[in-house]
Structure 1
């Protein structure tokens, strides 16, 4: 029995060490690892101001909501990871944070344009608008160059078919706002609701126009109230300072746990490695964007994980001082501390859920990482830490109580 427990402990330690070593590279990969927010990765901060309507009608909150929804769709189609788009109803503004974007001017052009797609006859008259457009995608042309492939709804396909039938042998101008995209000659009627806009020099150019076409027109015109680029160097500096602060804190915690709790302290330190691995892999799997407030939430959850262990170990020490054996002290200590730690962590979890539900941006990032950390803390504390202590006591039931931070033998 003792030998089996020793083998389990050695295997567990080796497994944790291997897991840490194998996790560093994929989790820290700049492209495929844990996503970093604007304050860590750098990017663009934009504030778009709604301009008064030409007819004098007031701009409503519904207009701002619609504009926000369209901008969010455009940002998502651009492939920006976890953008932050917020509405300011009082000032009629939309605040946008785009992590990893290096060209703010291009981002502004795509986000604020009204993006109205029209088809015009040789005389310049608008003969069809893009309201019936179902989808638009950039791609490689059949012959050469790049194109935007258009798909119309059933009603739009009917209109487009009638239009191309009437304009055989004539040119059909395709405009995005007032910019001519292409001016092809209609050779045959297009009745299947599929059209192709040619003439793009790059795939990126075609894809950007496709984003604008399929996301629709903004209900109001937007101007730039603020445009600020956050340098990647600032983000790296913030990240490094956070890492150093966290490393110093972890070293102090490890030493504290070892000095005051001896063997249980070593188990707690091992449990913290497991806790951190689980949390970071959750961040990676669910594409959680890590920001400075998010790191603060993570570090706070580490503190709660340590507090979890301290409460339990103090109960274990009390049971051992009362004359119980190590095995009985461990079991009784966990049982006595269970309600206390559950109560503390559940109330904090409720606070995190409340912050996430009612907060925005940085507050949500803090609440999310804190909530994930609390849940993982409960899991590792109740399962991992307890089981490892059982193996240790089973491997050496006659271990001196000094190794559990209790002077004298029980």
Structure 2
């Protein structure tokens, strides 16, 4: 057990609370600051694949809750502009071993960690000043405070990364697509199912959530940088209408319902690449450090594995951040790069650039159930997810099977 240190974590989504859990297990104190007023409920479905992911969830006492709240999605069906079925895509290609809405997972993590974690909602970090013994931190709303270490777990547009490493343009690799997601009623009356419609450079998707009581509308489209829409919701809605009005299937109805949605998540599809994830007493985690992009299907698993490794290395190093941060990166970087590589070529498969490419992909999908390698894609994704061996840190290993561990 290390001497207790106080760690400030920026980001209350997935990576931040996961890190708070493991820091507590190793005797550290954690404060999580999140600019949203409460845990975010929206977002897409995220999945976990393979025993590395599942054993980590089991050890955190989360797997039972995730199983209870799992989406239970069946195949996603590709349709044409009139809604006619074209081809079904296998469920495991999209949903892995277990799939849960991001908002539901964030809620589980918050409930699991709030008894021993200080959460500060509705605030954000404005400056970091490091000296020999700690980091002086100022906030947008709260009084200045001092911490031993600071972790940026605040997403692809990390404020901590900007303060400690510089402008994000140096680290973000845009992959040529943007996406948006929002909640709508399950007005199509689907039962644990989804629909996908593609036209050159665009994709519209709709899938049910929370036992069919609601649905998620998802839009992907090819575009360059859109800085004017970064934080402006009205501009984001205007961009979506510009790209999707009149394109077919349910696009116009979903755009009409967009204004009544409780939230709209809109961003570019991108990856984050840095030479180092640490600067002094500041370190990055999850998407802030090594975003693999939604196209990889690995972001959430990577973030939670990273939290386990970072906390474990701090414990192994007795709180020595220089040693711990270097070992954290050494343990995780190859795995993170593999997760990023898994996104290669996915954009062209997901959002075909031409009608001919869309037609060729549909023919391939129709033939897939009859081909010897029909499960090859799912197996490849699982192989990537399992391409790391987790160390048993400070006597607190990840349980390979059986009942969950408790504190």
TM range (shorter): under 0.3
Larger Rg: 1
Which structure carries more helix by proportion?
1
Q: Which has the higher strand share?
A: 2
